[in-house]
Amino acid sequence: MPSDWIKSSCNQCGSQIVIHKEWTNPDTVCGACKLISGKFVDAIEVLLIGNYFVTPDHIKNQLRDLVKSANCIYNKNLRKNVERSAAWRIAELELAKQLWAKKEVRKSVLFAIKVLSKQEKQDEKAKLRSELRAARTVDGTRRWTG
């Protein structure tokens, strides 16, 4: 009997992902890579230190442990003379993988990513508006001086 689940591989890190054959828009990246593209480290930071979210202590503790182990991996690679940005990418992927495996913590982080990306879009809109305003002012100035 053919299975409805197909093994595929993440096109970012190559790790195995499983997709359903009836999905019309199947994932092409794994959960960890999804977290990375969602700037999950920023989300963790906001969950830990900001007062933007009310984060339960047990979630914070798990996040701190994850960050601590990512720091260990990072420092270990630096000691092995791995270049900084490469060392960070290794640690970041490992952090994302560990986080993805922890369902409850993952949920908090995904929520924070969603809120932050909405926030970012608003910031971008505000930036665009002020740029438009500035452009208009420039036009106006040109008209006045020209």
Of 77 and 92, CB closest to Zn ion = 92
Contact set for Zn ion, span 103-142 (CB under 5 A): none
- The reply on whether position 8 binds Zn ion by CB under 5 A is no
Centre a 10 Å sphere on the Cβ of residue 108 and count the other Cβ atoms it contains.
Answer: 21
Quick check: 77 and 91 in contact, CB under 8 A? yes
Using the contact rule CB under 5 A, the part of the chain among 27-35, 79-87, 108-116, 134-142 near Zn ion is 27-35
Chosen residue from 12, 28, 62, 117 binding Zn ion by CB under 5 A: 12
The two three-digit tokens of residue 97, written as one number? 């993988």
18's enclosing H/E stretch is strand 16-20
Gyration radius from the chain CA atoms:
21
- Measured in degrees and rounded to the nearest 5, phi and psi for residue 89 equal -60, -40
Of 59 and 70, CB closest to Zn ion = 70
# residues near Zn ion by CB under 5 A: 5
Contact set for Zn ion, span 32-51 (CB under 5 A): 33
Q: Which residues bind Zn ion (CB under 5 A)?
A: 10, 12-13, 30, 33
